[in-house]
Amino acid sequence: MKKTLIIILALATGLIMVGQAAAQGISGSAHDFSTETWNTSGEICITCHTPHNAMAGKPVLWNHTLTDNSTYVNNLQTAFGTTWGTPDGPSLLCLSCHDGTVALDNFGGTTSGTNFIGAGEQVGDGTTLDGNHPISVDYNAALVTSGELNDITSAETAGVNIYGSAPGRIQCGSCHDVHNSAGITKLLRTSNAASALCMACHNK
Ligand code: HEC
Ligand code: HEC
Ligand code: HEC
Ligand code: HEC
């Protein structure tokens, strides 16, 4: 009797896990380009990573042509007086497709791609990030002290990602997970229902 119950529980748990797997992960997500006509390999990872002959000096075996960072102007100030960062680090990997200056199919050394990001998913334009949440800025320690921002441990416990060692930095991947690990709409790291994502960092 007890054994039967355990088996039923095990089956039920298995079913729940299968249910979660369908929504989580990169397969079938906005970043699964395996069925696009411009990706003839039919692979998922290849548009961004390659096991061999990746771009020299770039992180995570990068395989996609990068955006030109030198054209970005660093001319904005946030409400708190911090000067915007010129995009750097892993945010540049995102902007390679998302700022609309480099074709989606410019990967694996190809530079003749013709498919670009749609207007609804474009972030920045190769010159400015005006109108977007700050990225490549420090997780300002003075604002933690003054109580404007929650401390890093609380923010990360609430699900976001602060890059590097203290004070740490905000990048696209602070709020998003490129591989859809959490299975949350817009590839978010944690749900923004009732603005929970915003309040992970901002003490409002
Ligand atoms: C649309 C582009 C894209 C695709 C497709 C993609 N990745 Fe990534 N991956 C990234 C970016 C960008 C980073 C760096 C993220 C960061 O640090 O913010 C990364 C980081 C990684 C890392 C190191 C850090 C981590 O997050 O674990 C591994 C491992 C990785 N990817 C594996 C894979 C594999 C395996 C696949 C295919 C199943 C894949 N990725 C598909 C863009 C992509
Ligand atoms: C991962 C932490 C984090 C998350 C999540 C986050 N923010 Fe921020 N936010 C920051 C940091 C850091 C700054 C820059 C502070 C400074 O000026 O030094 C900032 C700045 C701002 C500013 C001032 C921008 C300006 O140009 O003056 C606003 C407004 C803002 N955030 C709103 C939001 C909203 C709305 C959300 C949710 C959609 C959000 N933030 C999510 C960390 C975060
Ligand atoms: C290889 C090009 C490429 C790279 C690199 C890339 N993206 Fe995307 N991303 C796209 C395309 C194309 C779409 C729109 C797909 C569609 O039409 O559904 C998209 C969609 C998205 C969406 C919207 C998802 C949705 O469900 O609507 C988010 C958020 C996003 N990307 C964030 C990122 C972040 C953050 C990074 C870096 C960590 C990144 N992307 C790197 C090409 C890319
Ligand atoms: C502070 C958190 C935060 C940061 C940093 C951030 N995003 Fe987002 N992003 C969001 C939220 C929240 C949404 C969902 C907005 C909605 O559903 O209305 C979103 C939506 C998107 C979308 C879907 C299209 C849209 O406008 O709704 C794309 C694409 C995207 N982000 C890409 C990026 C890229 C690329 C970066 C870095 C250059 C980035 N994001 C940095 C919070 C962030």
Q: With 90 as the cut, is the pLDDT of residue 4 above it?
A: no
Tell me the percentage of the chain whose pLDDT exceeds 90: 80
179 Cα: distance to centroid of ligand 1 (angstroms): 6
- Position in ligand 2 atom list of the atom nearest CA 77: 26
pLDDT, tens digit, 9 for 90 and up, residues 113-126: 999 999 999 999 99
CB 132 within 8 A of CB 124: yes
Cβ–ligand 1 distance for 47 under 6 Å, the answer: yes
What is the Cα–Cα distance from 19 to 186, expressed in whole angstroms?
Answer: 19
Tell me the percentage of the chain whose pLDDT exceeds 70: 89
Q: With 50 as the cut, is the pLDDT of residue 7 above it?
A: no
Cβ–ligand 4 distance for 186 under 6 Å, the answer: yes
Section 45-63 average pLDDT: 96
Section 109-116 average pLDDT: 96
Res 75: pLDDT: 75
Instruction: Name beta bridge partners: 138.
Output: 169
Q: Is the bond preceding residue 167 a cis peptide, omega within 30 degrees?
A: yes
DSSP string, the chain: -HHHHHHHHHHHHHHHHHHHHHHSSSTTSTT--TT-TT-TT--SGGGTB-SSSPPTT-STTB-BPPP-GGG-----B-TTSPBPPPP-THHHHHHHHHTSSS-TT-BTT---------GGG----SS--TTS---SEE--HHHHHTTSB--HHHHHHTT---BSSTT-EE-HHHHB-TT-TT-BGGGBSS--GGGHHHHHHB--
Res 20: pLDDT: 40
When mean pLDDT is compared across 18-27, 65-74, 181-190, 194-203, the lowest value belongs to 18-27
* pTM (two decimals): 0.93
178 Cα: distance to centroid of ligand 1 (angstroms): 7
What is the Cα–Cα distance from 198 to 178, expressed in whole angstroms?
Answer: 18
Q: With 90 as the cut, is the pLDDT of residue 96 above it?
A: yes
Cβ–ligand 4 distance for 67 under 6 Å, the answer: no
What is the Cα–Cα distance from 157 to 49, expressed in whole angstroms?
Answer: 29
Section 48-61 average pLDDT: 96
pLDDT, tens digit, 9 for 90 and up, residues 14-45: 444 443 434 899 999 999 999 999 999 999 99
Res 74: pLDDT: 78
Q: How many CB atoms lie within 10 A of CB 24?
A: 17
pLDDT, tens digit, 9 for 90 and up, residues 117-157: 999 999 999 999 988 999 999 999 999 999 999 999 999 99
165 Cα: distance to centroid of ligand 4 (angstroms): 23
